[in-house]
């Protein structure tokens, strides 16, 4: 189950156009930034899910607030016209839980890779976060129904999806994000040039592999 690719499939050209209008950017840069945000959030969630407390907090939030219905009207979410419940659309709150104090560093990294300015990235991130949580919530709900109450291994799904993002060219972002989350420090330029190796080392620490 590749959440990275599934998230990309959620973003239609019309949605990118609307996102671009919301943040005042061109569509190509908005699309690139959106994909980078997906990568960063998957990495942050994988890190959170690597501890019992973090996994418990994530599953509790999914069960309580994220049933996936937010995906039924993504255009309304982006434009602000949809009548959504607050927890499911509170992107700023989600970013706080997922990335913590690393939000600014993540935004700077994505700004550099996409060409958008920091203000545009900070507007885009809270819009994207509910889409990520909504998709995970929907998959979790569908899995429980199809497996008679069984629960998918969220930690392993997130790890695999983050690795997919790495192979898609986002190793540097993931390496920097996860390195910052785990070690509370920015990765070195040398490490960033070896994003794939750094990501592998980080996931080795997280999952003991």
Could you tell me where the beta strands, DSSP code E, fall in the chain? none
d(CA 7, CA 192): 25
At residue 188, does pLDDT exceed 50? no
pLDDT band for position 147 (cuts 50, 70, 90): low
What is the model's pTM? 0.78
| Within a domain: 198 | no
pLDDT band for position 166 (cuts 50, 70, 90): low
At residue 206, does pLDDT exceed 50? no
| Within a domain: 168 | no
| Within a domain: 141 | yes
What's the total number of domains in the chain? 1
| Within a domain: 189 | no
| Within a domain: 177 | no
| Within a domain: 42 | yes
Question: Is 178 within 8 Å of 48 (Cβ atoms)?
Answer: no
Domain that holds residue 31: 3-158
Question: Is 37 within 8 Å of 14 (Cβ atoms)?
Answer: no
């Amino acid at each position: 189950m590749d959440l990275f690719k599934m998230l990309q499939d959620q973003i239609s050209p019309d949605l990118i156009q609307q996102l671009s209008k919301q943040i005042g950017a061109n569509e190509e840069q908005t699309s690139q930034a959106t994909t980078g945000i997906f990568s960063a959030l998957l990495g942050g969630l994988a890190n959170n899910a690597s501890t019992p407390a973090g996994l418990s907090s994530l599953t509790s939030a999914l069960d309580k607030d994220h049933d996936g219905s937010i995906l039924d009207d993504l255009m309304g979410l982006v434009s602000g016209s949809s009548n959504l419940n607050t927890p499911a659309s509170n992107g700023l709150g989600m970013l706080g839980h997922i990335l913590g104090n690393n939000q600014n560093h993540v935004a700077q990294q994505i700004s550099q890779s996409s060409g958008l300015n920091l203000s545009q990235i900070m507007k885009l991130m809270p819009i994207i976060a509910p889409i990520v949580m909504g998709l995970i919530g929907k998959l979790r709900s569908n899995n429980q129904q199809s497996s008679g109450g069984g629960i998918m291994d969220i930690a392993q799904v997130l790890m695999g999806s983050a690795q997919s993002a790495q192979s898609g060219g986002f190793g540097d972002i993931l390496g920097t994000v996860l390195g910052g989350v785990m070690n509370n420090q920015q990765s070195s330029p040398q490490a960033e040039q070896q994003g794939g190796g750094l990501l592998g080392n980080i996931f080795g620490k997280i999952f003991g592999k």
